[in-house]
Copies of this chain bind each other. A is one copy, B any other.
Amino acid sequence: MTTPFQFVYEFNQERVDGNPEMKDLLGGKGAGLAGMCSIGLPVPPGFTVSTRACTLFHQNQQAFRQQVWPEVLEALHRLEQVTGKPFGTTPRPLMLSVRSGARFSMPGMMDTVLNIGLNDRIVDDLLEQNEAADLAYDCYRRLLQMFGDVVLDIPRRAFERILARRRKEKGVRYDIELGGDELGRICEEFKALIRDEGGSFPQDSLEQLRLSVEAVFQSWNTPRAVTYRQLNDISEDLGTAVNVQLMVLGNRGADSASGVGFTRNPSTGAPAMYGEFLPRSQGEEVVAGIRTPLGLEEMKQTFPEAHHKLQEYAATLETTYREMQDFEFTIETGKLYLLQTRDGKRTGVAAVRIARDMHQEGLISREEAVMRVNPDQLKQLLHPVLQHAGGELLAEGLPASPGASVGQIVFSADEAVSWAQKGKPVILVRSETTPDDIHGMNVAEGILTARGGMTSHAAVVARGMGKCCVVGCESLRIDEKKKEVEAQGRTLREGDYISVDGNSGKVFLGRLQKVESDLKGGLISEYLGLLGEFQTLKVRANADTAQDAQKALEFGAVGIGLCRTEHMFFAEDRLTVMQDMLTASTAYAKDQSLKKLQEFQREDFLSILEIMDGLPVTVRLLDPPLHEFLPEAAELSSRITELREKGVEETEILRMEKLLKHSAELRESNPMMGHRGCRLGISHPEITRMQSQALFEAACQLKRMGKSPVVEVMIPLVSLVGEFQDQAALIREVAEQVFQDTGIRIPFEIGTMIELPRAALLADQLASHSDFFSFGTNDLTQMTFGFSRDDAGNFIKDYGRKNILPSNPFETLDQDGVGQLMRMAVEKGRSARPHLQIGICGEHGGDPASVRFCHELEMNYVSCSPYRVPLARLAAAQAALGCQPTDTR
């Protein structure tokens, strides 16, 4: 029956049309079902309606019904034969599940309808055949509810309200505790609700099936699905497949259950099956977070045989797929079925551990192990942890996603977004999360829920985002309307601070300290050890202090690519001296301040160069506009008024007035493009002189102590060859003077930042004077787009919404535009100086996609913040291996 126009692919014990590679056509779920069927795992039989059908559906619904529907009917016919169950009639009627399944797993995004095939007459027949009333009605009310929601678009909460009222009347906590009679009445109420809402529930089973399949295809375009694809860079054209499958009933009775599991622990990576199950449950109840599920180890008691088989199946899945699997199962009257398998999403820690372990177990090669971790996942291993000491424990839940977050409580996703836009750190606190909350989760520091397990929506999404998350904190009593949460007898309100520990599941009152991670006992360095010779692009760090330099070394940086000297002047004692220098009214006073600053700088350089002994340290001359060192004029004015009223001594007021005068004079309309960078050093050569002298004195002092300082001086914001020449000549003059004074010489290089379009355009001219290039892609991006990073927030969100800009160019390098300038600069630079050393020191230096691009441009190094060094190293190795890393977030 395989034709060139095949739309439907069957799978059952006798026949499997598809295979695990056909994810494009069958979606992830469909390919997984075909795969499991092929290797003899117990999968309820069924068929997959392909993504090709989805595309046709969206192009032409008429054609869809003419071409696809007949194939569905044929497959349904054979399913009736295979199962021996008739669809739409009794006895033993065929019940079907209809589930979406796209190429890329999109948790909770697409829609599901279970128990299709039931109708009033069949339910009556079942009851007459002594089928348990509570099972029949439970299945039927679920069908009505899901069909109402997915197909008829009646708000889910309308159904929930009816259930809640009934639970309250009966004094029970969960739906499952309602008896058959009660569920029967609920079915009637649901049908009434559907009628009231103008909907119509078809008693014809085939109509139920067709409408459900079409609704799933339709759901590809729901706003929440579109948002998810945008957030995750998934193409709109892919479409989803639909899987139609025999229902196995985890809600059949006490010896039935449903659950989800992982072949290894998705949170820690520990090599043992891990998961959760709920007796007497169906479908997505385990992940919905309404009832808190049981751990898989409890299955040993209640379902010993099924548990044993599950472990066996899990092992088979891992050997087959050579990757950690995330599977769903159902137990119907003691018999175990697998409903789905796919590569499991995991935390960064788990990804690293699993890759390392699988390589050690001989399951995957070293290259594969390197490709199995997305560089961003490393972040979780490097981030600080919460220091509990002295904290007041508020609640304890499940540690769903590791990390530490400290922030202010908000109770809705919209509030989270609005607070975050004001720069506030927020923690999203919800009873449970749904796909409608994704935008809020995305901006939150951390997520806390009262319900749900380790595989609940909140947990899965948070792990994917690498965000700290605690779920199932059942002692919390959350009132989302009143914006209050009660815990330990306290009432917290919106804006109150809490601290959440995603590693332990503990939640504390107020703001606790975060401390450095202990690098997970060497796991990360062991993993990075696998990179070996794969990594050719070097990784340096941006570091302005001895502390940062030390951290950089620990993380494997082979030098400092950017040491920002201005940061050295922002400490309070130094800032005053800097201000004195800037506002000095006599040459003598200016000189005195410069001498003091030189002392500070020399000390800084001494400690940094000493730590980086033998490794290159690139020191950038003063860069920001000078007004950044002075208080704002408005602030000064009010402070002066205040001081006058207090009768403070005149000298202090005079000092303030001087600052005010200079602050006003230095104000610029567009400071980003104003008097900064090398423009400062040219107008104020005394500053360049002071900085160079401090640097060379420090280096010579270390050389005398037997050290090997490697100094690179970097001139910022160059657009003209003459600017470089002016500053380079001054630096050389100072160096020569220091060498003569100390009798010690050190080798050094002078290079330029490439951060203005003109520098890239004239890179050949610059290269004939400059020893090295370092791309400042922050400024280069600003100038190439004409976007001020400080102001672009106003319109970049409109751009995202309208799909004008694929991603924020300040986070991911714009290879088409900015990258074109970089390529030009590399080519022109090397044409003038073949072995020109070229690096990057903008924030893109730690972004994996940008690191890959730098590797392709044959640059020598990237430089990024110390915490990003391991990410950059991994990205560099992966770039050299030439393919994209697996994404298991």
Contacts and interface: CB of A to CB of B under 8 A. Distances in A.
A793 to B, nearest CB: 9
A668 B756 contact: no
A236 B673 CA distance: 32
A784 B760 CA distance: 10
Contacts of A792: 673-674
Given A683-B794, A757-B783, A802-B682, A788 B670 contact: yes
Interface string A760-802: 0110000000000000000100111111101110110011001
Given A670-B672, A674-B794, A791-B670, A799 B757 contact: no
Contacts of A782: 673
A717 interface: yes
A804 interface: yes
A756 B782 CA distance: 10
A835 B623 CA distance: 45
A179 interface: no
Contact of A669 (B761, B762, B791): B791
Nearest to A668: B791
A786 B677 CA distance: 11
A679 to B, nearest CB: 4
B672 A802 contact: no
Contacts of A787: 673, 719
A726 interface: yes
Contacts of A802: 682, 722, 726
A70 interface: no
A519 interface: no
Contacts of A231: none
A46 to B, nearest CB: 42
A610 to B, nearest CB: 35
Contacts of A679: 794-795
Interface string A720-738: 1011001000000000000
Contacts of A675: 791, 794-795
Interface in A640-696: 668-675, 677, 679, 682-683
A786 B779 contact: yes
Contacts of A755: 786
A783 B675 CA distance: 14
Interface in A799-818: 799, 802-805, 814, 816-818
Contact of A786 (B669, B756, B762, B799): B756
A129 interface: no
Interface string A810-840: 0000101110110000000000000000000
A698 to B, nearest CB: 29
Contact of A722 (B719, B785, B788, B804): B804
Contacts of A707: none
A758 interface: yes
Given A757-B757, A817-B758, A821-B757, A805 B673 contact: no
Given A756-B784, A758-B817, A804-B720, A790 B682 contact: no
For A717, A758, A784, A821, the residue with the greatest tally of chain B CB atoms inside 10 Å of its CB is A758
A682 B726 contact: no
A716 to B, nearest CB: 11
A376 B318 CA distance: 81
A667 B566 CA distance: 27
Given A669-B672, A679-B795, A784 B805 contact: no
B784 A757 contact: yes
Nearest to A794: B675
Contact of A799 (B682, B779, B783, B816): B682
A235 B119 CA distance: 98
A779 B758 CA distance: 13
For A668, A757, A799, the residue with the greatest tally of chain B CB atoms inside 10 Å of its CB is A757
Contacts of A783: 757, 783-784, 786
B788 A669 contact: yes
A794 B804 CA distance: 37
A756 B785 contact: yes
Contacts of A717: 786
Nearest to A817: B758
A673 B790 CA distance: 9
Nearest to A797: B683
B682 A804 contact: yes
A817 B761 contact: yes
Contact of A791 (B674, B758, B805, B816): B674
Interface of A: 668-675, 677, 679, 682-683, 717, 719-720, 722-723, 726, 755-758, 761-762, 779, 782-788, 790-792, 794-795, 798-799, 802-805, 814, 816-818, 820-821
27 contacts: A668-B790, A668-B791, A669-B791, A670-B672, A670-B673, A670-B788, A671-B788, A673-B782, A675-B791, A682-B798, A683-B798, A719-B817, A720-B799, A720-B804, A722-B803, A722-B804, A756-B784, A757-B784, A757-B817, A757-B821, A758-B784, A758-B785, A758-B786, A762-B816, A762-B817, A762-B820, A779-B786
Given A683-B795, A723-B799, A756-B785, 9 more contacts: A673-B786, A674-B788, A679-B794, A720-B785, A756-B784, A758-B814, A761-B816, A779-B786, A783-B784
